[in-house]
């Protein structure tokens, strides 16, 4: 298994006291293991006077070999999209709601991470959906690009309004449709 040396910590965008406490515990734990720690900018905001290097989401992937997300599934999805290009593994500590993706409980944080650092983990490979939205000639909108880990929702933004669209996969036409939207899910 891979030996992790530099750990990136990602925090929930709107960090509350629970998130901040978990971030403090995590930094202390990692420093105690003599690991290098870098913070993503949201985590840094929640930890004043931390004295650690700070990176944006986009920079974090080139500066760490494991990322730990403290937040909810939304935080995990955002971090995973940003870190995917560098193939950085991501572990989630649940400080959100459901925790489907952020499945480590804060109470189990140190035990679970001890297991990870001992090589007792399984990598779950996921794939990203890449999107390109090209508005028609009458639209004032510009092309939109994105990527998603779970699903993509294309809609007009207004529930009663219809949109007309063509669906392409790998630049191959699949079909055209007129509806109020479409959900593409992994």
Q: pLDDT tens digits, residue range 85-101?
A: 899 999 999 987 766 77
Catalytic site includes residue 73: yes
Higher-confidence residue of 33 and 77: namely: 33
Q: Give the CA dihedral 12, 16, 22, 28, nearest 10 degrees.
A: 90
pTM, two decimal places: 0.77
115, 31 contact by CB (below 8 A): no
Q: Could you give the CA distance from residue 37 to residue 121 in angstroms, rounded to a whole number?
A: 21
For range 108-118, the mean pLDDT:
95
Fold of the CATH domain 6-117: Rossmann fold (3.40.50)
Query: Does 154 score more than 80 pLDDT?
Result: no
Q: What is the pLDDT of residue 91?
A: 95
The catalytic position among 21, 73, 103, 170 is: 73
pLDDT tens readout for residues 37-66: 999 999 999 998 889 999 998 899 999 999
Provide the residue ranges of all domains of the chain, joining segments of one domain with +. 6-117, 129-185
Q: Distance between CA atoms of 28 and 109, rounded to whole angstroms?
A: 12
């Amino acid at each position: 298994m891979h030996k992790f040396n530099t750990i990136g910590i990602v925090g929930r965008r709107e960090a509350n006291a629970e998130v901040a406490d978990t971030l403090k515990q995590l930094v202390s734990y990692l420093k105690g293991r003599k690991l290098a720690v870098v913070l993503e900018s949201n985590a840094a905001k929640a930890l004043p006077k931390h004295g650690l290097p700070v990176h944006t989401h986009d920079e974090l992937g080139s500066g760490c070999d494991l990322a730990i997300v403290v937040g909810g599934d939304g935080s995990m999805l955002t971090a995973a999209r940003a870190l995917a290009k560098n193939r950085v593994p991501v572990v989630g500590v649940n400080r959100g709601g459901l925790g489907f993706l952020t499945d480590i409980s804060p109470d189990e944080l140190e035990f679970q991470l001890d297991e990870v650092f001992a090589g007792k983990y399984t990598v779950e490979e996921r794939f990203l959906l890449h999107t390109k939205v090209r508005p028609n000639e009458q639209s004032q909108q510009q092309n939109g690009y994105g990527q998603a880990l779970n699903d993509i929702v294309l809609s007009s933004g207004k529930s009663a309004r219809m949109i007309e669209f063509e669906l392409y996969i790998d630049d191959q036409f699949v079909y055209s449709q007129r509806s109020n939207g479409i959900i593409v899910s992994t």
